[in-house]
Structure 1
Amino acid sequence: MGATWEAVTALRINPRLGGFARDMRKEPTPFEEALWLQLRGSRLAGLKFRRQTVIGSVIVDFFCPAIGLVVEVDGDTHDAAVDSARDTWLGERGFTVLRFSNADVGRNLNGVLEAIVLAAGACRARFTHPPAPSLEREGE
């Protein structure tokens, strides 16, 4: 039986993973930066996203905790088998994962945004009250 969202978030973040996530927030790829400019500050359909977030033992590119939506932007170096295993692990814990290539983001950002909104509409709310505020500064 998979862990619940509460059990996953109640665990302390691995300091090594937290450091990697922090470093990745400081140096996003151009494609992650382009998407983040559209997602930050609840700009897309009022959805609050975080970037480079640790969930269990993985770091996800973008995460909307209110509905459990994970958005990944994949470069040429991604391993499909590893990504599939990560997606399965996240799915078993109730998360919905969307993957887009750098080319998708670079050539069709509006289509990517539409796909995110469509997927978000199919996700159910995970909280009956607003989640606790992030310990990180807003919009980073």
Structure 2
Amino acid sequence: MPKIIKPPLPTRSLTNSRRLRREQTDAERELWQRLRGAQIAARKFRRQHPIPPYIADFCCIETKLIIELDGSQHSAESDAARTRFLEAGGWKLIRFWDSDVLLNIDGVLDAIWNAVGPRTLTPTPLPEGEGLKEQKP
């Protein structure tokens, strides 16, 4: 199998993502403790992952899911432009307020699991002989 060669990241993106990893907010730190090590649906997450020209707070490459934490520094206009750009690249975004992570981490984790967890689209049939049995009169 031929080796896939990825172009290098722009130096600015790489530098910024490293800085953001060092300077996490309390909400980012709390969520990262729950996402790291494939704790949710055995999915690997990355934090402060560059997707030029943006840096995703958290992402799962396998499912193309980005998790964004919004605090007071976010504006609706810039977030909408960012969302349109990333969705055009095939990513799905879910957003949470920092306060949601700090006050309702279980609800946030449930929403993330629902976004990445395995789903059965149709009911799984019972094995032969384990369904309702006909009763003879």
Structure-1-length-normalised TM-score: 0.78
- Quote the residue 1:24 is aligned against: 20
CA distance in 2, matches of 1:35, 1:13: 26
CA distance in 1, matches of 2:117, 2:34: 17
Instruction: Check 1:120–1:104 CA distance in 2 against 1; reply closer, same or farther (3 A cut).
Output: same
- Asked if 1:74 corresponds to 2:70, the answer is yes
Shift of 1:108: 0.6
- Asked if 1:49 corresponds to 2:53, the answer is no
Of 101, 104, 109, the match for 2:105 = 109
Q: Which runs of 5+ in 2 are unaligned?
A: 120-137
User: Max radius of gyration: which structure?
Assistant: 2
Q: Which runs of 5+ in 1 are unaligned?
A: 1-8, 124-140
Higher RCO structure (Cα 8 Å, ≥6 apart):
1
Helix, strand or coil: the match of 1:73? Answer: strand
Instruction: Check 1:86–1:11 CA distance in 2 against 1; reply closer, same or farther (3 A cut).
Output: farther
Greater helix content? 1
Counterpart contact for 2:87–2:93, Cα < 8 Å: yes
Percent pairwise identity: 39
User: What root-mean-square deviation, in Å, do the aligned CA atoms of Structure 1 and Structure 2 show?
Assistant: 1.7
Counterpart contact for 2:41–2:116, Cα < 8 Å: no
CA distance in 1, matches of 2:44, 2:68: 16
Runs of 4+ in 1 over 2 A off after TM superposition: 9-12
Shift of 1:43: 1.0
Shift of 1:80: 1.0
Q: Tell me how many residue pairs correspond in the alignment.
A: 115
Structure-2-length-normalised TM-score: 0.79
Shift of 1:44: 1.4
Helix, strand or coil: the match of 2:37? Answer: helix
